[in-house]
Chains A and B, each alone.
Chain A
Amino acid sequence: QVQLVQSGAEVKKPGASVKLSCKASGYTFTEYAVHWVRQAPGQRLEWMGWINADTGITKYSQNLQGRLTIARDISANTVYMELSSLKSEDTAVYYCARGHYPGDYVLLLFWGQGALVTVSS
């Protein structure tokens, strides 16, 4: 079965960077894009970006352009999300998610369990 297993919670100081991982299993890793979506406490979900796991091509939200890097390691079936210059507003649960079918970049069917990132001095 499809599984996306994320790394654990992180606590960071303002200005630092955080790097989260999302390990995929149960499907052919390179056939699907993987997205990152975050949810600040009590807020709506916010799409951050995706990576084509085959080509490594990425697309980012303009709101996070310049601070967000999504990468993948095909040998490890793992996608990484790094967010730099952290602010308190980046405190959120971060999710990775996979599309519905190969070549699908918009339907978020499978989700990781989420990882809480707390930014606090």
Chain B
Amino acid sequence: EIVMTQSPATLSVSPGERATLSCRASQDVRSNLAWFQQKPGQAPRLLIYVASTRATGIPARFSGSGSGTEFTLTISSLQSDDFAFYYCQQYNNWPLTFGPGTKLEIK
């Protein structure tokens, strides 16, 4: 199965600043990569799919890039509501697999 890794494990950023989260796949997943946001006690929320397409209702400050094995989620001008866990997920091969997550915390 494809193993997903994410870095950093924890990212401390001040509100209003930019956050850059990384995701790596153990093999080529083309652009079949999604990003999710999850807050404590809540279900994950789909943010990005096909590596760079925002899901309906997701603010433009969320952007995704990359293809193959290296991907990035960028959140420009962080707002208080953005501090959460972020997971990447590949859907190029079965089984669907998720990264271990990045905790985005307030600096």
Q: Which residues of A contact B (CB under 8 A)?
A: 35, 43-47, 59, 61-63, 95, 97, 100, 106-109, 111-114
Contact = CB atoms under 8 A, between A and B. Distances in A.
17 contacts: A43-B100, A44-B100, A45-B44, A47-B96, A47-B97, A47-B98, A59-B94, A62-B95, A97-B43, A100-B49, A107-B91, A108-B46, A111-B43, A111-B44, A111-B45, A112-B43, A114-B43
B106 interface: no
Nearest to A59: B94
Looking at chain B, what size class is its interface with the partner chain?
20 to 34
Interface string B12-37: 00000000000000000000101010
Contacts of B46: 100, 107-109
A97 B98 CA distance: 15
Nearest to A95: B43
Given A45-B36, A107-B34, 11 more contacts: A35-B96, A44-B87, A44-B100, A47-B95, A61-B95, A62-B95, A107-B49, A109-B55, A111-B45, A113-B43, A114-B43
A108 B91 CA distance: 10
Contacts of B89: 45, 108
Contacts, number: 47
Contacts of B44: 45, 95, 108, 111
B99 interface: yes
A105 to B, nearest CB: 8
B94 A44 contact: no
A44 B34 contact: no
Contacts of B94: 59
Contacts of A112: 43
